[in-house]
Amino acid sequence: MSKHLSLRWLGSVAAMVTGFLLAGGHLLEETTNDETWIMLAKNMIFIAHLAMAFAFIAIYDSHSNKNVWGVAGMLMATAGTIFVTAIVFVETASITMPDATALLGGSGVSWITGTGPLLFVLGIVMVGAELIVRGEKARAGGVLLVMGTILFASAEFIGAFAPVSILTGSALTGAGFIWLGIHINKTEEQQVSESTI
């Protein structure tokens, strides 16, 4: 297995882990009031975001046209994911240490809380749009990423219906990552079989 193919394999696994943990973590977080379960949910979401950075690179490598739009989307999504991972880490710590959230408002760090989620959302939408335009097997994954991300991001603006938006959005986004992870793996298997012929 070449380094290129092993990167895709790692990204495929990362995408599927992201999908399951993202959807499961948000489902658990929105349906429980128990501190222990909320801590577990936050850790699931944290690990999902860590894996997501690898998933974006593999999705770009296997499904993108490598044009400016694809590069910009992958870079924005990856940078946004890194920032959001830091935010989720602090939110997780704040469950047992309430003063930890003060870190997010610090003058040297507040730009991360402002730009991170925006980069994250715009990056995922750009990656999803690139996948939709490119078509083939990645199109369905792109549609799921775009729909899920927009629904999830809209939760901040819809008040009482926010939990429904979060659950539906994270489920669709998670399904998109799982779909793309499966197809990254199929792309790799196809390339391996072609190289052995």
Say how far apart CA 17 and CA 161 lie, in whole Å: 27
Q: Which residues are within 8 A (CB) of 197 and not within 5 positions of it... i.e. 6 or more apart?
A: none
Say how far apart CA 157 and CA 139 lie, in whole Å: 28
Highest mean pLDDT pick, 5-9, 160-164, 166-170: 166-170
* 157: its two tokens: 């603006």
* 158: its two tokens: 């819809």
**Residue whose C-alpha is closest to residue 166's, from 149, 146, 152, 148:** 152
Say how far apart CA 156 and CA 126 lie, in whole Å: 21
Task: Compute CA distances 177 → 54, 158, 184, whole Å.
Answer: 12, 25, 10
Confidence band of 48 (pLDDT split at 50, 70, 90): very high
- Whether residue 193 has pLDDT greater than 70: no
